[in-house]
């Protein structure tokens, strides 16, 4: 400390005032916690997303949505932890060969069930139905690809890729 003119020591100047330190701590808490949660979620779900990334949709399919659930802070309420889905829509005809190609790339060649066209519903019943599907276990995850049609004569089709940890089986 340097002496003042009256001889009393002058207090040292601080680099940051106290209020700046408080603001920095609050910002670190407000932004640090969500960032940490997001990073742990991404790291924990990376193996599952890597499997989903091996299922390549046809170029004419339009992505509709995706949901990834998991990580160390996952609370199993509505959706199983360590599960995800991706959904695509197309008005093009989806053939068993299209679904088999996905199976060969990502699901160790599991066989397609159904012809991707014919409705399993009785003739007097209309509604969405599963036209064809394929499922397999890949690296500890149940992987399923389903082609849904809205009616026998509808050109719209929804293709769903579903993954769920084998731990979620009931």
> pLDDT tens-digit profile of 74-116?
777 767 888 899 999 999 989 999 999 999 988 888 999 999 8
Residue 141 covered by a domain = yes
Residue of 49, 74, 60 lying closest to 161 (CA atoms):
49
Q: What is the pLDDT of residue 120?
A: 78
| Whole-Å CA distances, 160 to 79, 105, 115, 143 | 16, 16, 16, 10
Q: How confident is the model at residue 37 (pLDDT cuts 50, 70, 90)?
A: confident
Residue 11 belongs to a domain: no
In a domain, 106, yes or no: yes
- The residues with which 146 forms a beta bridge, in sequence order, are 133, 160
- 74 occurs within a structural domain: yes
Q: Which domain holds residue 107?
A: 21-168
Q: Looking at the domain assignment, is residue 159 inside a domain?
A: yes
What pLDDT score was predicted for residue 13? 66
Q: How many domains does the chain have?
A: 1
In-domain check, residue 16 = no
The answer to whether residue 5 sits within a structural domain is no
Residue 2 has pLDDT above 60, yes or no: no
| pLDDT, the chain, mean | 85
Instruction: Give pLDDT tens digits for 118-154.
Output: 877 777 777 788 999 999 999 999 999 999 998 777 8
Lowest mean pLDDT among 32-41, 66-75, 103-112: 66-75
| Percentage of the chain modeled with pLDDT above 70 | 92
Residue 45 lies in a domain: yes
């Amino acid at each position: 400390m340097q002496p003042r003119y009256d001889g009393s020591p002058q207090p040292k100047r601080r680099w940051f005032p106290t209020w700046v330190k408080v603001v920095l701590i609050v910002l670190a808490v407000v932004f640090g916690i969500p960032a940490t949660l997001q990073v742990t979620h991404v790291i924990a779900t990376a193996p599952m997303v890597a499997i989903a990334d091996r299922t390549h949709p046809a170029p004419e399919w339009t992505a509709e949505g995706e949901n990834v659930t998991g990580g160390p802070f996952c609370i199993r309420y509505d959706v199983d932890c360590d599960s995800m889905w991706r959904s695509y829509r197309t008005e093009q005809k989806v053939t068993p060969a299209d679904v088999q190609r996905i199976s060969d790339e990502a699901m160790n060649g599991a066989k397609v069930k159904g012809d991707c066209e014919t409705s399993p519903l009785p003739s007097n019943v209309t509604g969405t139905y599963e036209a064809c599907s394929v499922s397999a276990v890949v690296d500890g995850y149940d992987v399923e690809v389903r082609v849904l049609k809205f009616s026998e004569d509808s050109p719209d089709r929804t293709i769903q890729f579903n993954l769920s940890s084998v731990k979620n089986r009931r």
